[in-house]
Amino acid sequence: MAVPPHEFLEAKAQFFDLEPLATDQDAWVTSVAVTLRGILGSQNGGLRERPQDYRLLIDVSRLREELPAVWVFSPSDDAIQHVNVFRARETCPFTHSVLPLLCWGTTGSAWQHIPRANRSLSNFLEAARQVLAETNMNSRAR
């Protein structure tokens, strides 16, 4: 189920540069782009906490059912140091180029335990922001 227009507007009130990339015939949002502030997230402890913006592309058409893949459009794969971002290996359906993906770790299983009514775009974007604002040094992404 895609994101209803009122829910998109609620999320946009929190994430100001949130943009719809596509909508369905009922004007429900099926994919979005957003820039989230995180940290560099490097394995190098001296650089780890530096602020870093991440431009994300996301298919939210099944947001109530599962956590979607989160494609990192920028920074480039070579510039990303965050331990919670997989190296570019798969083709992004939005750009038709190979882009990095966010590593959800155990967040996906936690998402399944949240009541469906609470699996909103705002809550999802906050979860993505938290992943990018922290480092899981046990992550196998980088």
| pLDDT for the residue 140 | 76
pLDDT averaged over every residue in the chain: 95
Q: What are the tens digits of pLDDT across the range 42-99? A: 988 888 999 999 999 999 999 999 999 999 999 999 999 999 999 999 999 999 999 9
| pLDDT for the residue 18 | 99
Residue bearing tokens 């946009």: 12
What residue ranges define each of the domains in the chain, with the CATH number in brackets? 5-133 (3.10.110)
Residue 105 has pLDDT above 90, yes or no: no
- For the chain, what is the HEC assignment? CCECHHHHHHHHHHCCCCEEEEECCCCCEEEEEEEEEEECCCCCCCCCCCEEEEEEEEECCCCCCCCCCEEEEECCCCCCCCCCEEEEEEECCCCCCEEEEECCCCHHHHHHCCCHHHCCHHHHHHHHHHHHHCCCCCCCCC
